[in-house]
Amino acid sequence: MTSIVGIDLGTTNSLVAYMQGEQPVVIPGEDGSNLVPSVVAIPEPKTVIVGHAARAHLTTTPDKVIYSAKRLMGRGLEDIQEELALFPFRIAEDVQPGEVLRIQLGDQQFTPPEISAQVLRRLKKNAERYLGTAVTKAVITVPAYFNDAQRQATKDAGRMAGLEVMRLVNEPTAAALAYGLDRQKDGIVAVYDLGGGTFDISILKLHEGIFEVIATNGDTHLGGDDIDNLLIAIALDDLHGDLNVDYRKHPEVVQAIRREVIDAKIALSSQQMARISVDLPDGKVYRREITREQFEQIIQQVIDRTKGPCLQALKDADLQPEQIDEVVLVGGSTRIPLVRRLTDELFHLGARGKKPHTELNPDEVVALGAAVQAHILEGGSAATEDMLLLDVTPLSLGIEALGGVVAKIVQRNSTIPASATEHFTTGVDGQTNVAIHVVQGERELAKDCRSLARFDLKGIPPMTAGLPRIEVKFLIDANGILHVSAREQRSGKEAEIEVKPTYGLTDEQVETMILDSFDNAEEDFQQRQLIEARNEANTILSAVEKAPANAAWNLLSDEERSQIALVSEELRLLKDGDNLELLRAGTGALDKATRRFAELMMEGAVASALHGETMESAGEKLGEGPTAPHPFAPAEIKRDSAE
């Protein structure tokens, strides 16, 4: 019964996976490819192209395509100056510091979550087509080092795509879960995850199925993209030197070079030499050879930046490299031989006769792990029995105190959910508001940390200064997202809190961005409605199949029973067809035919409750209130309709 899918929403590529029996598998797209490039093209209003097809637009209409949008999630203008120098992001001109970013694509503007929602929606459709059922729930992975705003933005993107995000899971932890499925061994594992745009290191303790993260660190500005940018810069410098033309202003040329250097980068993981060849607009051709040695010299500075976070994580975990039993490599960039050498040195692997784990495809392992976590949330099975993930918050949470210093209230690497309670009071007689500034980060001063939100505690009863005692509870949930509640203790009054997320969208804004309103493709809509109608039909049919087992069935007349059989048979035929109207009518007819049965069954359940059964078990029999039009069975998506 898979209804929750696992999604790896990557900087470069995204994937969706689910548990097929006891094994997680990646769901391919229509083109047969497991990877959906995280590229969105909007060549004209209301036409959205995602994935491989969108990539083609990069060299033709680069101003209407966006890639690596994950780098912009949950960030403000002042955070992305570094990004802007290196990426062809076109930020809307009127975006102010402190506002949610808007990306200009042609005449239109989109927030980063809206772009990610398009990628998510593609994955959702791929899964629905493959599984033949509606997919409305997902586990989505995020870099372990993502802060609260970046996590919230990812969750918002899910909601816009019509997905209920059941859990955000950290990418390295997801990878550990995927590996842990096969080998339930106790020990200390380090997951080194170098992806397209982010780097994470997580150290976990495995104990009888518990995956306890003990330290995590990383850099959300470090990945394969940075290697590409270095190579592009060299090519552009070459061209500037040789031809005295600055192609930086020609996005098509930059994109053509980008494609070539990526191919060369990939080739250099298995070859000693690669060639780059780019056609220039004036009929000239740029050619260059690059050896692995040269390549390694160029990228050394990027790869070396992963060292610091690894050492810090070891220090936080209070462990020596020799105490790491296994190292797992995740992310496409870990195919680079130089990266393998660095991890070997960092964790003294070769010296101890050990090799890093690379058995699972480094591009797919995170999605596979997300599917495992999805399965655990569904209640699991023999495959995931006893598996439980205990993750941590990557950054300390603090509040700005007098003088702009940060008072830390939850330390980094605390197991989540985690909470902290703080007390505040007023400084002026009769003061009814208190403002609180919440930040995330390790620095001493609030201005050097990441501003998460400003809260206004309102409705404090007017009292002498210092007399009110307002208790504020900060809670980081299992997704790594902060929740705040407050109470004035002397009056016992719940203080009203107005949360202003520093770089987040409000609930109302997210609501207006839900993709359905922006949905243009009539055909997709039809398709989805058909899938939903089939699900409804399946639900009611499977309930009818089980009906004879219920005592209420015997209370029906022969006529009623044969009517139900007849209408069921019709619905079974309609379900395989494509006619939405007829299918809906058929489901309606069966619902009508079974209504008396449903009523009898409800009465039976109530009666047994009165016979001393607990309200709880009676409640279970009744389901969670009437789920019209099938009041007698909780919704259920049958697995055998898959594939």
Partner 1 sequence: MPDQETESVAASCWSCGASLGTGSPICSSCGKVQATSADADYFAVFELSRKLNIDTKALERGFYKLSRKLHPDLYAQAPVQEQQWSLDQSSLLNDAYRALKDPVRRTEYLLTLEGMKLEPEKGDAGKAARAPADLLEEVFELNMQLEEMRMNRKMGEDDPQLRQDLVNAKDQFEGQLRDNDIQIQNLWAAWDTAVDAGDPSQQDQLKTQMVASLDRRRYIRNLVRDVNETLES
Can you give the binding site for partner 1, defined by CB under 8 A? Answer: 166-167, 207-208, 210, 373, 376-379, 386, 388-390, 401-403, 405, 407-408, 414-420, 475-478, 614, 616, 624
Give 58's strand partners.
Answer: none
Least distance between partner 1 and beta carbon 402 (Å): 4
Give 154 or 198: the residue with its C-beta nearer to partner 1.
154
- Closest among 292, 336, 334, 294 to 310, alpha carbons compared: 334
Give 124 or 412: the residue with its C-beta nearer to partner 1.
412
The yes-or-no answer on residue 63 being catalytic is no
Least distance between partner 1 and beta carbon 417 (Å): 4
Least distance between partner 1 and beta carbon 480 (Å): 12
Least distance between partner 1 and beta carbon 50 (Å): 28
> What whole-number distance in Å separates Cα of residue 346 and Cα of residue 459?
54
Q: What's the distance, CA 469 to chain centroid?
A: 39
Under 8 Å between Cβ of 367 and 15: yes
Least distance between partner 1 and beta carbon 299 (Å): 29
Task: Give the C-alpha distances (Å, rounded to integers) separating 64 from 47, 49, 88, 309, 384.
Answer: 11, 10, 11, 36, 44
DSSP 96: P
Give me the amino acid identity at 169.
V
436: alpha, beta or left? (left if phi > 0; alpha if psi -120 to 50):
beta
The yes-or-no answer on residue 599 being catalytic is no
Give 378 or 519: the residue with its C-beta nearer to partner 1.
378
> What whole-number distance in Å separates Cα of residue 73 and Cα of residue 444?
25
Give 407 or 607: the residue with its C-beta nearer to partner 1.
407
Give 12 or 373: the residue with its C-beta nearer to partner 1.
373
Q: How many residues does the chain have?
A: 643
Give 236 or 449: the residue with its C-beta nearer to partner 1.
449
> What whole-number distance in Å separates Cα of residue 97 and Cα of residue 140?
28
Check 64, 70, 137, 575 and give the catalytic one.
Answer: 70
Check 148, 171, 228, 591 and give the catalytic one.
Answer: 171
Check 79, 148, 193, 536 and give the catalytic one.
Answer: 193
- Closest among 419, 523, 426 to 472, alpha carbons compared: 419
Give 229 or 415: the residue with its C-beta nearer to partner 1.
415
Least distance between partner 1 and beta carbon 93 (Å): 40
The yes-or-no answer on residue 318 being catalytic is no
Give 101's strand partners.
Answer: none
> What whole-number distance in Å separates Cα of residue 296 and Cα of residue 413?
33
Least distance between partner 1 and beta carbon 65 (Å): 37
Q: Is 449 helix (H, G, I), strand (E, B) or coil?
A: coil
The secondary element (H helix, E strand) that includes residue 523 is helix 522-546
Least distance between partner 1 and beta carbon 403 (Å): 4
The CA-based angle 542-543-548, given to 5 degrees, is 110
The yes-or-no answer on residue 219 being catalytic is no
Task: Give first-to-last CA distance, the chain, whole Å.
Answer: 13
Q: DSSP letters of 381-397?
A: -GGGTT-EEE-B-SS-E
Give 557 or 614: the residue with its C-beta nearer to partner 1.
614
Under 8 Å between Cβ of 372 and 335: no
Q: What residues are labeled active site?
A: 8, 70, 171, 193
